[in-house]
Chain A
Amino acid sequence: MKQQAPIPPIGRVVATEQKPSTPHQFYFWTARSSPIGIGAIVRVDSDERVIHGVVTDGFAYSDLETPLDAVIGAEGDPAGLIDPTARSEIRLYLAAVLRHHPEEPLQPVPLGAVHLATDADVTVALRMDSFTDGEESTGIPVGVYAGGGLEAPVYLDADFLVGPEAAHLNITGVSGLATKTSAVEFLLTSIFQTFPTQKGSVAALCFNVKGPDLCFLDQAGSLEETDRNIYDRLGLVPEPFAAFQCYAPYKADGVNLNTLRTHPDLEGNTRPLVWGLRQVLDYAEVLLNRDDIDAKAGAFIDFLAERVVGQEFRDDSLRAKPFRVETFADLEEFFRAIFDWMEALNRGGEIWRTHHIATIRKVRNRLGNISTRSKGLVTDDGEVHDLPWGEFTDRAVYTVDVAGLDPLAQDLVFARVVSVLKEQLERRTLGVDHVIVFVDELNKYAPSDGPETYVRKMLLDLSERGRYLGLVLFSAQQFRSQVHRRVVGNAGTALFGRMDNDELTMGGYSTLSAAIKAKLATLPKGELMIRHPHFTQPIFVRFPRPAVLTGRDGVQRFPPSPDLPFPDAVARVLRGMDSTLSTEEIRDLVAGRRAEDVRRSLHATQRSRPDDPMAYFRACLGRAVVAESRDMRRGIPGVRSAPDPYA
């Protein structure tokens, strides 16, 4: 059998009084032509122990004592004769220890030969052997470590990524380099394909906050050979998400969806997201700032939520017929009744059931404002289209497109969706065991400074308690330093793409060497630095492009349908359910009908998805009531009275 020649070392540990080896770092020198670079993983062999380390800094020395010597040597002319002899120069590297073997007693790194890491070394150095070996491996491929011609797979531990040991992932990087979103899309692919069976089911819910970034996750994107090689190396199949649904609110007209995913070919899994009063009232705190919600207003809102909305409410002093408040329109009618009652009382009628009229007016104004500012998301008529609560499916991605929404409405969506996820995961009624929630622009929703908002509190709660429930936050932002410390601090795994230089000067990066920072500031597309509980030092990896269509390509391949006039938009929605329907017939049907009636019928049809949409729609719409105009009769003239004798 042919024996393989031992791989020669590429360097040797050097320890001096000025630069000694310690248990956590060591220096080694290499030849000038060595392939070692910042982030390279190396192995030190000595008689008594093996140490793995990662290169964190590099130095080059020549035998010059001062720059002046170089000037004199060149006779002051930088363009002068090239030296016949290259000046002596050495390469010295500083490496941070990743792992000692044996681990005890922990001792300084001995003098020894330094080798480039092999696949096996990378596994040991990053302690991946503890979770990738055996039948119940919890390894999730995150990319390949590339160094010295080696491409070794790097895995994250699912127990530390999705819980319960640790959880959450945060990714930082400058915008426009297709790193943050791409990395998350790739990682979701990886999780869906390799999530350990014994850990149960997993789904993802992505908030699309800008452009069409996350709207085409079910469509295949183009990949290069290098990307396919990485997928191969990681044992993954490059394919888009098979189970994908996109939810988007309507525009103000209530029929055109407020998303860039409106191409007819994609209608099958593009759904409206419309909420009514009940869904909004529970999260009124999100929509009303501290100045709005004082104790009195809060008490009145609670009264409405608990006693009035969604049930029969009787108050004979207001009117004999009980109230049934299901919609904003019903709520307005209810408020009107209160005000009428107070006005009827004239003076002294300022209190209704312990609530002052000013408080009632304030709450009415603020709640009324919600349906105006969030038109399209919040409906007056009570027809609701919601996420498939209780029916989430394993390995499915749900995108909630809030890019076109008012910031206030975005907050409402975040708050309600995450709260319901939490409730249902707690009760184990969601349909899956784990949900990964992806939120981009985290610095906007959980800023490190500024007022305490409901969304920030909710994200804090999610980051601190989510892992026990199976609710995992994957978040991204440009500037990690501008995000609340507890939100990023609770992320067990942190990814860093190319970083802004100013950001790198912030205190949170002080543990990184200048060389690591320099590498981060110039990191190419498709490379990340990873911090993970099993890795004692940050590691650089390369990941492939996601196998899904990017937002930009998606919009080119599936151009959004133009907004249509109301009757045509209604026809398009119905034809989406049954392409045999005639646009003309639908136009004729809705002609002259009130828009609110048409919308209500359309939403009911969409929600029910009947076999015969047209019949259902027609039934919901009811018969048209033809307006009749009648001539006003002349009234009976009054009795002409005699002149007032007292006038």
Chain B
Amino acid sequence: MSSVPRTRPHVHHLAPLRRALSSCGLVPSSMPSAGGLGRADDAAVRPASLVGDAVLSSFPCGPPVGCPEALGFLDGIQRHQIVAYDGPSPLVLGWVAAGVLLRTGRELKPTMAGTAQLAIGRETVLAKAADALHGFEVLPLEPPDDLHPAHDLDVARGMVDRRRAQLEEEIGQRFRATSSAWLLIDGSLSHSTAWSQDPRMLGIAKSHAILPFDGRALTTYLQLPEGCRTSLFRPATRGGRETFSWGLRLREWMGKDPFHGLVRIEAAPTEETRRRASEYSQWILAERSPLSAPDVRWDRQLYGMRAVERYLGAILGE
């Protein structure tokens, strides 16, 4: 005979339980913010080395202050779609776009943009489809030996991703060739040697698949209060291009999750960066508004970046 529980389970009424957990020393939270943890396949802890401080600490940055100069936002988007199969092998089309919106005054104006459309597939597929692929960059797929279409698609997706990063870099270089304005980049600077050394570029990483600390330092990193930044550190990057980085909490996260409103800033590894990290953080704090809703990543997404994505989306005909 089954016994009837005293309290009925209820998936939505968790507030009393959260309060109880808080008194046990835990931090009440909820599901991670969209995209905050990055792709599970990439998730790892790669300990970074601190710059200056012996222990990872948090510092209030001060009130938000808009960047006093013209400020550019560089971002890119990518789309892909299977359009045909040759036996088990898919033909994947990809579209990538990257661009810069430059803010002068309070107005964002498109400054430059580039697009590319890709056709990705195994050699045999591309050969058969050659006549139909005018205007496409044809990229042969080098997949694993097995012919599982899911693997092909995964590799194709990676190729689109890399082409987008490449296009972003090209656009960034073109922009820098014509303008010395500050440029905020969506993502890490360490992909590019030029970017990682540019004294007027800041990278904003919203995804936290790679965590720079473990143990106590990780707790400090993830429990960073709103409006505060961490000590500077050198992230351990695969590319090996050195940057200075720090965590910055854009929004109150208590009751949500540790990644809510948490971004990682990258800048050139210079003395000036060490000196002005809080000032740069104030600029970025100011970019919390306007809110980039309805973007699901609104807690970390800067409005300027979202504007670039919408602009590029319109160019791609979305």
Contacts and interface: CB of A to CB of B under 8 A. Distances in A.
B106 A86 contact: yes
Contact of A88 (B63, B287, B310): B310
B289 A74 contact: yes
Interface string B92-124: 000000000001001110000000000000000
Contacts of B290: 70, 73, 83, 85, 87
B289 A69 contact: no
Interface in B71-99: 71
B144 to A, nearest CB: 42
A69 B304 contact: no
Nearest to A32: B107
A85 B287 contact: yes
B303 A85 contact: yes
A530 B63 CA distance: 56
A85 B307 contact: yes
A84 B287 contact: yes
A88 B313 CA distance: 15
Interface in A72-122: 72-75, 80-88
B92 to A, nearest CB: 29
Contact of B291 (A69, A80, A81, A82): A69
Contacts of B303: 83, 85, 87
Contacts of B64: 81
A72 B107 contact: no
B309 to A, nearest CB: 11
A63 interface: yes
Interface residues of A, number: 19
Query: Interface size bucket, B side?
Result: 20 to 34
A81 B291 CA distance: 13
Contact of B286 (A74, A81, A86, A87): A81
B223 to A, nearest CB: 21
Contacts of B291: 64, 69-70, 72-73
Could you say which of B66, B289, B306 has the most chain A C-beta atoms within 10 Å of its C-beta?
A: B289
Contact of B106 (A70, A72, A81, A83): A83
A85 B310 contact: no
Contacts of A69: 291, 293-294, 298
A465 to B, nearest CB: 61
Interface in B258-303: 286-291, 293-294, 298, 303
A84 B70 CA distance: 11
A66 B294 CA distance: 9
Interface string B160-201: 000000000000000000000000000000000000000000
A490 B316 CA distance: 56
A556 B293 CA distance: 64
Contact of B289 (A63, A65, A66, A81): A81
B67 interface: yes
Contacts, number: 57
B310 to A, nearest CB: 7
Given A65-B294, A84-B67, A73 B289 contact: yes
A84 B103 contact: yes
Given A73-B288, A81-B289, A83-B289, A63 B108 contact: no
B106 to A, nearest CB: 4
B75 to A, nearest CB: 14
A177 B92 CA distance: 70
Interface string B209-230: 0000000000000000000000
Contacts of A73: 288-291, 293
B3 to A, nearest CB: 44
A75 B285 CA distance: 12
A430 B286 CA distance: 81
B287 A86 contact: no
Contacts of A81: 63-64, 66, 286, 289
Contact of B66 (A63, A64, A72, A84): A84
A85 B294 contact: no
A66 B291 CA distance: 11
Interface in B47-74: 63-64, 66-67, 71
B307 A88 contact: yes
A88 B108 CA distance: 8
Given A83-B106, A85-B304, A86-B106, A63 B310 contact: yes
Nearest to B307: A88
A83 B105 CA distance: 11
Given A85-B303, A85-B304, A72 B287 contact: no
A280 to B, nearest CB: 76
B177 to A, nearest CB: 24
A558 to B, nearest CB: 58
A73 B293 CA distance: 9
Contacts of B294: 65, 69
Contacts of B287: 84-85
A63 B66 CA distance: 21
Contacts of A88: 108, 307, 310
A334 B310 CA distance: 96
A86 B289 contact: no
Contacts of A65: 293-294
Contacts of A87: 290, 303
B305 to A, nearest CB: 11
Could you say which of A63, A66, A72 has the most chain B C-beta atoms within 10 Å of its C-beta?
A: A63
Contacts of A75: 289
Nearest to A73: B291
A84 B63 CA distance: 14
A47 to B, nearest CB: 22
Interface string A339-358: 00000000000000000000
Contacts of A66: 293
Contacts of A86: 106-108
A87 B291 CA distance: 9
Interface in A38-87: 63-66, 69-70, 72-75, 80-87
Contacts of A85: 103, 106, 108, 287, 290, 303-304, 307
Interface string A419-463: 000000000000000000000000000000000000000000000
A64 B293 contact: yes
Contacts of A72: 291, 293
Nearest to B298: A69
Contacts of A64: 291, 293
Interface in A232-249: none
B251 to A, nearest CB: 9
A217 to B, nearest CB: 54
A64 B310 CA distance: 13
A78 to B, nearest CB: 12
A88 B303 CA distance: 10
Given A63-B310, A73-B288, A84 B293 contact: no
A219 B218 CA distance: 91
A12 B173 CA distance: 33
A82 B293 CA distance: 18
A15 to B, nearest CB: 16
A83 B66 CA distance: 8
Contacts of B106: 82-86
A286 to B, nearest CB: 69
B168 to A, nearest CB: 20
A73 B298 CA distance: 10
B315 to A, nearest CB: 15
23 contacts: A63-B306, A64-B291, A65-B293, A66-B293, A72-B291, A72-B293, A73-B288, A73-B293, A74-B289, A81-B64, A81-B66, A83-B289, A83-B290, A84-B71, A84-B287, A84-B289, A85-B108, A85-B303, A85-B307, A87-B303, A88-B108, A88-B307, A88-B310
Given A70-B291, A85-B108, 13 more contacts: A63-B306, A65-B293, A66-B293, A73-B288, A75-B289, A80-B289, A84-B106, A84-B286, A85-B307, A86-B107, A87-B290, A87-B303, A88-B310
The 10 closest A-B pairs by CB, nearest first: A73-B291, A84-B66, A69-B293, A65-B294, A86-B106, A87-B290, A73-B289, A83-B289, A83-B290, A69-B291
